[in-house]
Chain A
Amino acid sequence: MIKFLYDGFYIDDERIPVYSGAVHYWRLDPKKWGEILDKVKGMGFEVVTTYIPWEVHEIKKGVFDFGEEEPSKDIGKYLTICEEKGLKVLVRPGPQINSELTWFGYPKRILEDSEIQARSAQNTKAVLTQVPRPIPALSYASEKFFKETAEWYDAICSILRKHKAPQGCIIGVQVDNELGYFFHINPYVVDYSNSSIKKYQEFLREKYQTIENLNGLYRTNYESFEEIDPPRRFEGRKKEDLPYYIDWIEYREHYLINSLDRLTGMMRERGLDDVPIFHNYPHPLGPGGSVGATTTPFNLPELESKLDFVGFDIYSRKELYDHVKTIVSYVVGCSRFPFIPEFIAGVWPWYFRPGELNDEEFVTKSALMHGIKGFSRYMIVERNRWMGSPVTRDGRIREDRYNFFKQVNEVLKKHSFADFKKKSEIMLISNRDYDRLEAATVLIPFPGDFLETLLGFSEYPNFTTVSEDNFGFDGPIQLAKTKWFDAYYRGLTEQGYSFVLGDTSLSTDKLEEYKVLVLASFEYMSSDFQENLLDFARGGGVVVLGPKIPTLDEKFHEKEILKKYLSPEKSVGITLGDKTVGVKHEVGKGSVVHLPELDKRESGRILGRILEDAGIWKVEKNDPRIDVTIHENIKEPERRIVFVANPTSDKIPTEIGLDKVPASVREIWENKAVEIKDGKLVDELHPYTIRIYDCAFGGV
C-alpha cells in the first residue's frame, strides 16, 4: 500500500520524496528509452512521470496499439524498464492530457462528436484556439463521454494495475489534466450543453430542495427545476438578482469536482484503488499569460474531499515572483501534499517570449521558498512541441540545464528538504463568495486562446472585465475584494511576516493550524464561514478583517453571526500614532480585529501593529522589498533553512535578523559560509536572486 503524507510518498514506511521529471515514451525512440532514463537518473531523479495518450494508442474505436504494431507505444515495456532501473512512476492516462498533441489527447472522433461537445451560451461549439489545431471543448457532463472514456480506461488500466508499487513502479496516478473548461475560464462561455444544463438543474435541486425555496430567493415563479435555464450573460442590477448568477459560478466548480470524482471512481473500479490519485489545476497564469485567481472555477479543498491531492501547475518567469508565491502559498495552505504536477523545465513553442535558464532557477527557488514538497519537472526530456529541456529527444545533454536540474535534486537530498516545513503562523484567506461574485459579474464572454486572447483580456475575471455596479452595497465588492487582498498581501510581505494562503472552503481543522486569519470582509459572508471564524477566535485565534463586519449571509439574508459577538464593552481601539485604525474585539480566548479602512501605503504598519500585539514573530529585514521565509526542521529543531529573495531588478544589500542568532550559516546553493554581523545575516543580493541559508543553532 502506498500512502502519502505532507512530506512525500511512503512505501512500507520508506519515504520517497516526489521530485519527478516528465518523459514521454511514445515520442522517443524505444531503443533509446534505457539510455535516456539513465540520463534522467543521472540528474538525481528517482521518479518519472508520463502521460498516456488515448489519442495515440487508439487505432480505431475500441482497438488499441500498446506496442503490438509500433514499439514506441509499448507502455508495458516502458514501465518494465523503469522498474528494472529502480525508477518510480507517476502516470497520467487522461482522458484529457493536452501534452501539445493535436487533439489534446483524445481521439479525433471524440472531438468531432457533437453529442460530446460542450455548447456555448449562444448554443455554438466552444472552440479553444490552440496549436496546431483549434479544438472544441468537450462536455464532461455528457454520459457518452464517460462511456467512451470507460473503454479507454478498461484498456489502459488493465496494463497499469500490473505495474503498481510496491511490486511495480507506479506510485501515483493523475486523473485527467488541467480540467478547467478547456481554458474557457470565462463563466459565460461553457458548458451550456443539454447534459450540463440537466446537471445544473440537479445541482439547484440539491441546493434548494424545493422550487419554492429557490423562487423565494430568486424572486421567480418557476414551477419546477427543469424550467430553469442558466444565465447566459450577466444582467444583474441589484443584489437580489445576484444569487441566480452566483449559483451558476458555484455550479461550474461543482461540475469540475463531480467530473473528476467520477473519473477517479472509474479508475479505482479498474484496479487503481490503492495508489494515490491526484489532479493538476492549470497554471493560473492563463494560456495568454495573464495572472489569475486560485479559487473559482477551481476548488482545491472540495476536490481533495474526492481524491487524494491536488496541485497547480507552474510556468513562470522571474518577473512574476508574486504569481509563483501566490500559487505555491495557496497549495501549501490548502493541500494535503503541496505538489506542483507540472513545474517548468522548458516550455511549449507558443509560450510567448520564453524565459532563460536563470528564470527557471529563480522560479524553482521561489517555489521551494514558499513551501512546495514535491514536483514533476515538465519536461525533463524534450520531445516534439517542447523546447528547453535538459535532455534532448535523442538523449543528448544540454550541460547548463542538466547541471542545474542535477544541482536542485542534490541540494534537496543533501539538506533533507523533505524534513523541513515552512514556518507560517498566518493564513491570508481569499473569500470564495467574493471571488464567485467577481466571476458572475463578468461583462464580456470570450473563449480561451493559447496564443493570446483576441481582445487582450485575462481569462480570469479582473477589473477590466467585471461590472462596476454596487448592486445596493456600499461599493462594488467584486472590485474592492482584490484591493483589500492586495493590501494585506503587500503589508504582510513588507513587514516580514511569513504567511500561507487559504480560502473559505477550507475545513476548520486546516484553519486551526494558524494563529491568525486575515481576510477581506464586506456586507455579506457565508453563515458557515462566519461560524468558522467565530469558533477560531473563541479557541484563541486572531481574526483580522475589514472593511465591513458582515450583516448578511451568502443569500443576502440578514444574519449577524459575527457581529452579535462583537460587543463594545469588550473592545479596544487600535492606534497608529494618534490615529485609531481599527478595533479589537475580545471573543472567547481570542479576538476579532476590525479594520474599517486599509490604505495600501499604511497596510504594513497597521498589520504590524496588530500582529505584534498578537505575539506573532516577524523577520527583521533592512529593505521591505526583500522577502524571507523560514523552514523548520521537524527532526532537528536546531536546524533551519532561511530563504531570502530579491524579486526586483535592483541589487540590494541585505541584513536579516532572526529570533535567535545562528551559530553557523552556509549558503547551500553556492556552498559558501555567510557572514553574521551584529547577529544578522549579511549579504548582497543581485537582481532576481534567492539565497538559501542553512542555519545551525544551539551548540553546533
Chain B
Amino acid sequence: MLHENPLMIDIDVDQWRNLHDRFLESAKEKRRIIVIHEGGEILKFVHSNGEDVTKTIDKVTDPQIDVKKVYEDNKEKADFVLMLDRKAVERFFAEIQDSWSSGEDLDEYVYRMYVKLDEYKDGIVTYPGPARKNLGLRWKLSISYPQVKELVQRYIPPNSVVVVGIFENSNLIWGSLVLGFDEERKIKLITTIDKSQVIRDWKGEYKKFVKWVEEKFWKCSLGLFMDRGSVEMILESDKRLNTIRDLIRTGKLIAYPVPETLKQQLG
C-alpha cells in the first residue's frame, strides 16, 4: 500500500509526535522477560531492564506451558515473556529475508513477517498473547492491516486524498494526517495539515483545510475532522461505525467531503 516512491513532505513534527504517542506501541518499551533456549536448554533468562527474575523452570519442555509459567511467576515486573528457540529464530529470519523482492511494498513485507510468526508458535513464543500481537512496533487501532487495505479499496477513490484532522481546544491542531492515494490506491503522499491554516474554530474552518489540500495536492475524497475526545470515543468503542455515526449526527465529527461509496455507511 505504501508506494515505492512516496512524497513525505512538510510534516509538522509536533503533530507527528502526538500521533506516534497515541497510535503507536513499541515492544521495546515494554518490560520483558527474555528466555533463549537451544532445543530446551536454557541459555539466557533475563529481564529487559536487568531486574531479578524468578526462575522456576530450568529447561523448556513445552514452550506454551513454560512461557505461561514464567509469566505467572513474574507478572508484576513483566508486560510479557519472550521465549525464543535459537534455531527457530534463524529459520524464521532466513525465510522472511529470502522472500524479498524489489517490487513488494513495505507494508506487505512487514505484514508477511508478522503472519509468519504464527508458523513459529513454538519457536518464537510470547505470553500473554501471541508473538504476532506483542512484537515490534505496532499501531494501536484494533484493526488489522488486511481490514485497512480492504476499507481503502472499497471506499477511497483512486487519485484522491484523505484528510484526518484532530483538534484540541477549538483552534489548535493536535494531529493530522493527509494521505494521497494514486491510481492503484497506493499511498503516494504523506503529510499533515499546515498549522498556520488553523486560525479559528475548526468547525468553521474545515472546508478551508480541504481547499488547502486540493490546491496543494490532489482532489480530496474524504475529510474527517474531530476533537481529541471524539477520537478517544472511537478508539474505545466496540461498535466503531455506530460511534462514528453518532458523532457525525451530534456534530462532534465532521465528515467532509465523503465519497459516494461511503455516504450510506456514515448515515
Binding site for B on A (CB under 8 A): 102, 108, 111-112, 120-122, 124-127, 129, 131-136, 233, 288-290, 346-347, 349, 352-356, 382-385, 387-388, 392-393, 443-447, 449, 451-456, 463-465, 467-468
Contact = CB atoms under 8 A, between A and B. Distances in A.
A132 B4 contact: yes
Given A102-B5, A446-B93, A233 B13 contact: no
B89 A445 contact: yes
A455 B114 CA distance: 11
Contacts of A346: 13
B96 interface: yes
Interface centre among B30, B89, B90 (most CB of A within 10 A): B90
14 contacts: A102-B5, A125-B100, A129-B106, A133-B4, A349-B190, A354-B20, A393-B9, A445-B93, A446-B89, A455-B82, A455-B135, A463-B46, A464-B44, A468-B44
Contacts of B24: 352
A223 B135 CA distance: 46
B36 A444 contact: yes
Interface string B193-236: 00000000000000000000000000000000000000000000
B97 A455 contact: no
B10 interface: yes
Given A102-B5, A122-B94, A112 B10 contact: no
Interface residues of B, number: 55
B106 A127 contact: no
B17 interface: yes
| Chain B interface main SS type | mixed
Interface of B: 2-14, 16-17, 20-21, 24, 26-28, 30, 32, 34, 36, 43-44, 46, 48, 50, 82, 84, 86, 89-91, 93-98, 100, 102, 104-106, 109-110, 113, 124, 135-137, 190
Contacts of B12: 387
A307 to B, nearest CB: 31
Contacts, number: 146
A120 B97 contact: yes
A515 to B, nearest CB: 34
Contacts of A452: 26-28, 136-137
A129 B109 contact: yes
A118 B7 CA distance: 29
Nearest to A130: B106
A456 B93 contact: no
Contacts of A132: 2-6, 106
Nearest to A449: B136
Contacts of A449: 136
Nearest to B124: A455
A475 to B, nearest CB: 16
Contact of B86 (A131, A385, A443): A443
B109 A454 contact: no
Contacts of B6: 132
A385 B14 CA distance: 16
Contacts of B9: 383-385, 393
A451 B93 contact: no
Given A122-B94, A354-B17, A134 B109 contact: yes
Given A131-B106, A290-B28, A456-B48, A447 B10 contact: no
A441 to B, nearest CB: 10
A415 B36 CA distance: 54
Contacts of B89: 444-446, 455
Contacts of B46: 463-464
Given A120-B94, A353-B21, A454-B113, A233 B86 contact: yes
Contact of B10 (A121, A134, A392, A443): A392
A380 to B, nearest CB: 15
Closest 10 CB pairs of A and B: A122-B94, A124-B98, A452-B137, A387-B11, A388-B13, A127-B97, A456-B27, A127-B100, A456-B28, A385-B8
A658 to B, nearest CB: 37
A286 to B, nearest CB: 10
B97 A349 contact: no
